């Protein structure tokens, strides 16, 4: 039977993990088996650079934290050697980084995760990982806004060039000055 001190430590870990999971933008659960020390070091550095917390945590503790937060659907994936990546700012960052490693390492596997307070499956996490970076999405949005405006400007310029005259608006101030 574990001592009272160890039980209190585990309760504190569960409470802290549940609090983080509750306020996180997203989280991804991975089976980290088969990753080399070198790849794991690179993975952890990439996670830190992206502002993502990544830790290997016992399945029982993750399961109890899931119960507290309401992520019971994630408990079915808690078998084997798992790690949890939690992001508070960028909901796509953990999925992108972990998918890169899951594609390289056959035994490294994305199990599922959570996003905006709801449990998501492996397929949804993979879809998140395939979303282009924010800068690319903003560029596409601006391009789609500018395209019709460029078309309008080119059309108006073609009408002006075809008529061979300056717009009538430029002549109006000269006539007003003569009176």
Average pLDDT estimate for 54-83:
91
pLDDT the model gives residue 131: 83
Residues 11, 97: one domain? Answer: yes
Q: Which residue segment(s) compose the domain that 173 sits in?
A: 134-178
Residues 57 and 95 occupy one common structural domain: yes
Pair (84, 42) in one structural domain: yes
Residue 17 in contact with residue 57, Cβ under 8 Å?
Answer: yes
| pLDDT tens, position by position, 136-175 | 888 888 888 888 888 888 888 888 888 876 555 555 455 5
Q: Which residue's entry shows tokens 């596409």?
A: 140
Q: Structural domain tally of the chain?
A: 2
Q: Report whether pLDDT(26) > 60.
A: yes
Rounded to the nearest angstrom, the gap between the alpha carbon of residue 49 and the centroid of all alpha carbons in its chain is: 14
123 vs 108: CA distance, rounded Å: 15
Question: Tell me, what's the pLDDT at 30?
Answer: 94
Q: What is the pLDDT of residues 87-145, one digit of tens each?
A: 998 889 999 999 999 998 888 899 999 998 889 998 989 888 888 877 888 888 888 88
What is the CA angle 172-173-179, rounded to 5?
95
pLDDT digits (tens, 9 = 90+) for 10-25: 999 999 999 999 999 9
Average pLDDT over residues 42-51: 94
Both tokens of 129, joined, read: 């990982």
Which pLDDT does position 173 carry in this prediction?
52
What's the pLDDT score for residue 171?
52
- Tell me: do 102 and 174 sit in the same domain: no
Q: What is the mean pLDDT of residues 27-39?
A: 90
Distance, CA of 101 to CA of 88 (rounded, Å): 21
Longest dimension (CA), the chain: 105
Which H or E element spans position 144? helix 134-163
User: Given this model, what pLDDT does residue 163 score?
Assistant: 83
Supply the CATH number for residue 25's domain.
Answer: 3.30.70.1730
Q: Within this chain, do residues 83 and 163 fall inside the same structural domain, yes or no?
A: no
Asked whether residue 38 falls in the same domain as residue 102, the answer is yes
More confident residue, 178 or 43: 43
Checking if the pLDDT of 27 tops 90, the result is yes
Do 80 and 167 reside in the same domain of the chain? no
């Amino acid at each position: 039977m574990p001592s009272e001190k160890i039980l209190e430590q585990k309760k504190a870990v569960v409470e802290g993990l549940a609090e983080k999971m509750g306020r996180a933008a997203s989280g991804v659960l991975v089976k980290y088996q088969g990753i080399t020390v070198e790849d794991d070091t690179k993975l952890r550095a990439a996670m830190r650079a992206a502002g993502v917390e990544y830790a290997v945590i016992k399945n029982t503790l993750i399961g109890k934290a899931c119960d507290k937060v309401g992520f019971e659907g994630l408990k079915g994936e808690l078998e084997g050697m798992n790690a949890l990546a939690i992001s508070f700012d960028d909901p796509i960052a953990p999925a992108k980084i972990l998918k890169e490693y899951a594609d390289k390492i056959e035994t490294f596997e994305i199990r599922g995760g959570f996003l905006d307070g709801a449990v998501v499956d492996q397929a949804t996490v993979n879809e998140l990982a395939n979303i282009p970076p924010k800068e690319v999405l903003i560029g596409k949005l601006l391009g789609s806004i500018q395209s019709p405006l460029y078309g309008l400007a080119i059309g108006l310029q073609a009408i002006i060039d075809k008529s061979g005259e300056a717009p009538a608006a430029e002549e109006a101030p000269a006539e007003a000055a003569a009176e």
